[in-house]
Structure 1
Amino acid sequence: MKKFDAIIIGSGQAGTPLAFKLAAEGNKVAFIEKKHFGGTCVNDGCTPTKAYVASARRIWDACNGAALGVNIPEGASADLKKIKSRKDKIVQESVDGISSGVEKEENITFFEGEARFSGEKTIEVNSEEITASEIYINTGARPVIPEPFRKLNYLTNESILQLEELPEHLVIVGGSYIGLEFGQMFRRFGSKVTIIEKGPSIIGREDKEISENIQEFLQDEGIEFRLNAKCIGGTQNADNSVTLKLDCKEGGPEVTGSHLLIGVGRKPNTDSLNLQAAGIKIGDRGYIKVNDFLETNVKGVFALGDCNGEGAFTHTSYNDYEIIVANKFSNINRRISDRVMTYNLYTDPPLGRAGMTRKAALAKGYKIMEATMPMSRVARAREKGETNGMMQVIVNAENQKILGASILGVGGDEIINSILLIMYADVPYTVLKNAVISHPTVSELLPTLLKGLKEI
């Protein structure tokens, strides 16, 4: 049995930098990947989808010049083959970079195959057993496909990126982050888009005003929404279109589209690891249970990234890597609980989020102050002709610390970081309220926003 200092299962945004760091420190590393280097972010997530978002934005610019006095000849259209080709090139460059680095690192032994535990500290891959005193699991997650759709020709966030012909009518099941981003992209590319959501609002975890704002500007672009609509079955038609049968309060009981995208959530890739052989505990939803330092109940075995249920984002996965490295090599004792929740929704305009929503803060019993401002009041947004959205900040009324914020509007994905840094600094909101911020920017309205705080 080959013995290593460390085994890393999965080459996502935590596993890959960890492999190189451990190797650079002189450790013999077994690096296992069954599919492709880079994990979800590089291959099926952030990198390819944001490339598509950029293409969709170019079409929007071409179609909306008249409002700013720019006459653009009609006829802008999407060439999905070229859009996909550009995306594929960007993805391949990242994958090739990782592959080249692995080949050159003499302390990394790469195994292409599926890993399974055969004991507490032993892994079987390609019928070979290997062992190490430290094992790091970074296997990511995959789309959930509910039973009513499994016999239909459906797309996921992965397979839709392989299309080369534009869908005539894209029906999307799931009104959350995946569904909204792809919905707006393909509507701008030229597809008819219908989004079906079983809840009373899209992205139900957000505060009502944020959800309503997003739905409003997506409807303005021609996207149809069917809320409170539970899918109870589907039919694959002779022309390969799909008809979904709905139990809904408004609209017809059926929706027919040329293509069907399922975007109702993701589940961890832990079911094939044979975790019971190692005695590793998982939760009800299949996520590996970890402590504040990312260690499982088995000493020396850690779970990083989407498979641990402690954040389903590239930045939280990378932070998992940082926690491991800081604690192992610098004795800093970084923890999962140190980080402030943050994420972005990449509709156009985007939503930047940090900390808690208003409803979450109230549910936890905080006495709060809230300030909101429509983007139409922001001079820079008016000058750019992009006034959709709003800004919202929630403050703890007892200690003046920011509990959370939502920046929905032009530049919101970047502007949210100003508030996030104030939260990490653990200082009162007045630090930002009293700051002098350059003009003309969207960010300059943050102090003005905070001056309007009112108790809830």
Structure 2
Amino acid sequence: MTADRYDAIVVGTSQGGRFLPVELARAGGRVALVERGPLGGVCVNRGCTPTKTMVASARLAHQARRGEEYGVGTGPVSVDLAAVRERKRSMVAGARQNYAGRLDQDGLELIKGEARFTAPKTLDVALTGGGRRQLTAPVVVVDAGTRPRPLEIDGAEDVPVLDSTSVMELGELPEHLIVLGGGFIAVEFGQMFRRFGSEVTLVQRAPRLMTAEDEDVTDEATAILRDEGITVLTSATPVRVEQAGGGPLRLAVSLPDGERRLEGSHLLAAVGRVPNTEALTPEEAGIGLDDRGFIEVDEHLETGVPGVYAMGDITGGPAFTHSSYDDYRVLRARLVEHRRASTRGRLVPHAVFMDPQLGRVGLTEREARAQGRDIRVARLPMSAVVRALETGETRGFMKVVVDRDSGRILGCAVPGSEGGEIMTMIQVAMLGGLTHTAMADAILTHPLFAEGLTTLFEMFDD
């Protein structure tokens, strides 16, 4: 089969892959964009757009139940999960349509099918509608993303196990949802379904939730979840699961004090994600993988094969949509603008969309101390922020880590109302090189949540 020649081939259409092929085509190239599934990748179809839409529904249900605290009568609150699902589907459909409209560009060809390498810069595509095509180009960019890690415990293959995609397609509310995992996905879905009305149990292997965060941050998040009626089991290892005759799921969990059996109606595995590299047969191209199966790239996102690049979650870097978009920035500079850009030293923030939000950027206190840095730490409870008192959103705190000598901000964590937005203000201050005294002396609008920053930067622990 003769290979069709292009100037560039992009495999996958996530946040980075949605923009880069358009820019390459606008620059005069003939570009092939290969996608085996719905346009938009994880973010549009299975990640940010659908989950945050459902989180919004869950928050509204929670706020409605709190009406009496504010002098507002609401009556009994019920959740129609099928209607929540339809709202989610509508949002996803709109995002896909918006995405498709961006691809209407001369020189850009969308090819629906699954690609695999047969040589360093040659791909075989099994077309969705049948048949095959061979494609080749001097530049190939892989943006194929990740998928949920399958559950590997005894009995898992014999019972229905939900993942972060299938759980959003439920049309009826689980009576008792058991969530395996303690990361961002587990926390967001656990709180969401508790607010919808399900009984929820989180089962985390590690000694605490969200282990990348400082202990005081995860302690606060755990307390918030428990206050809402979620059972949180830590240092808990799932051993086996079974279901007899359509009855309840029975999960055996190993705890420090012995084995415990849990009964639930549904089981959600949120135990991590794995890269979509197998079907790509990267070994045929000489592309190196790390020990977890992620594509190895340098700071310019180039693999060990010159002219072959990778971007987004499949590189094993920070698995955030905004990181993928920044990968696009790096590759646009290299491939379109013909200048060098790098991922080295970039400041990557993140937010956990539990409620209240957790926003974080930069070093944690634990990381800074492990590096031997001389630091100061400031912490302010949200109950000391006027806006939090007025709105009844007093859970959580603001925390910042500062270099003692220079006064520069090294990082922050804000588990509290509007935590992501407040964190972003601190991130901008970090990017601008502001010191803690500049932040403490700033005039911030009263009464906003962010007004608490002026007080925060005066609350150092020494």
Q: Which TM-score bucket, shorter chain as reference?
A: over 0.9
Question: How far, CA to CA, are the matches of 1:280 and 1:328 in structure 2?
Answer: 19
Quote the residue 2:374 is aligned against.
367
In the TM superposition, structure 1's runs of 4+ consecutive aligned residues that sit over 4 Å from their partners are: none
Measured after TM superposition, the shift of residue 192 of structure 1 is 0.5
Gaps of 5+ in 1: none
Alignment of 1:14-413 (within 5 A): 14-73=16-75, 75-102=76-103, 104-126=104-126, 127-148=132-153, 149-249=156-256, 253-331=260-338, 333-413=340-420
1:55-81 C-alpha deviation (Å, 9 max, x unpaired): 0111111100111111222x2111011
1:338-389 C-alpha deviation (Å, 9 max, x unpaired): 4112100001100000011111111111111100111111110010001010
Number of equivalenced pairs: 453
Measured after TM superposition, the shift of residue 312 of structure 1 is 0.3
C-alpha spacing 1:230/1:218, structure 2 compared with 1 (3 Å): same
1:104-134 C-alpha deviation (Å, 9 max, x unpaired): 3231111111110000110110232110010
Aligned partner (choices 1, 4, 7) of residue 2 of structure 1: 4
- Kindly indicate whether the alpha-carbon contact (under 8 Å) linking 2:26 and 2:106 is maintained by their aligned counterparts in 1: no
Measured after TM superposition, the shift of residue 427 of structure 1 is 3.4
C-alpha spacing 1:250/1:388, structure 2 compared with 1 (3 Å): farther
Q: SS at the partner of 2:33?
A: strand
Question: How far, CA to CA, are the matches of 2:460 and 2:166 in structure 1?
Answer: 45
Question: How far, CA to CA, are the matches of 1:86 and 1:363 in structure 2?
Answer: 45
Measured after TM superposition, the shift of residue 332 of structure 1 is 5.0
Question: How far, CA to CA, are the matches of 1:428 and 1:133 in structure 2?
Answer: 47
Greater shift, 60-69 or 323-332, is seen at 323-332
Measured after TM superposition, the shift of residue 400 of structure 1 is 1.8
Q: SS at the partner of 1:202?
A: coil
Which one-letter code corresponds to 1:134 in the other structure?
Answer: V
Q: SS at the partner of 1:244?
A: strand
Question: How far, CA to CA, are the matches of 2:102 and 2:208 in structure 1?
Answer: 45
Question: How far, CA to CA, are the matches of 2:431 and 2:278 in structure 1?
Answer: 36
Question: How far, CA to CA, are the matches of 2:293 and 2:13 in structure 1?
Answer: 20
Measured after TM superposition, the shift of residue 308 of structure 1 is 0.5
Gaps of 5+ in 2: 127-131
Which one-letter code corresponds to 2:12 in the other structure?
Answer: G
Greater shift, 131-140 or 323-332, is seen at 323-332
Greater shift, 290-299 or 231-240, is seen at 231-240
Alignment of 1:400-439 (within 5 A): 400-439=407-446
1:311-355 C-alpha deviation (Å, 9 max, x unpaired): 100000001001111233345532111411210000110000001
Question: How far, CA to CA, are the matches of 1:68 and 1:98 in structure 2?
Answer: 41
Which one-letter code corresponds to 1:26 in the other structure?
Answer: G
1:267-311 C-alpha deviation (Å, 9 max, x unpaired): 111121111111111111111111111111111111000000121
TM-score, structure 2 normalization: 0.95
Which one-letter code corresponds to 2:106 in the other structure?
Answer: E
1:1-31 C-alpha deviation (Å, 9 max, x unpaired): 2100100000000111111111111111111
Which one-letter code corresponds to 2:85 in the other structure?
Answer: K
- Kindly indicate whether the alpha-carbon contact (under 8 Å) linking 2:177 and 2:266 is maintained by their aligned counterparts in 1: yes
Measured after TM superposition, the shift of residue 250 of structure 1 is 5.2
Question: How far, CA to CA, are the matches of 1:421 and 1:58 in structure 2?
Answer: 30
Question: How far, CA to CA, are the matches of 2:102 and 2:337 in structure 1?
Answer: 24
- Kindly indicate whether the alpha-carbon contact (under 8 Å) linking 1:422 and 1:429 is maintained by their aligned counterparts in 2: no
Q: CA RMSD in A?
A: 1.4
Q: SS at the partner of 1:443?
A: helix
What is the percent sequence identity of the aligned residues? 38
Question: How far, CA to CA, are the matches of 1:43 and 1:100 in structure 2?
Answer: 16
Question: How far, CA to CA, are the matches of 1:368 and 1:330 in structure 2?
Answer: 40
Question: How far, CA to CA, are the matches of 2:429 and 2:267 in structure 1?
Answer: 42
1:33-56 C-alpha deviation (Å, 9 max, x unpaired): 001100000001010001001101
Measured after TM superposition, the shift of residue 252 of structure 1 is 6.1
Question: How far, CA to CA, are the matches of 2:358 and 2:143 in structure 1?
Answer: 28
- Kindly indicate whether the alpha-carbon contact (under 8 Å) linking 2:23 and 2:336 is maintained by their aligned counterparts in 1: no
Question: How far, CA to CA, are the matches of 2:213 and 2:102 in structure 1?
Answer: 40
Which one-letter code corresponds to 1:32 in the other structure?
Answer: V
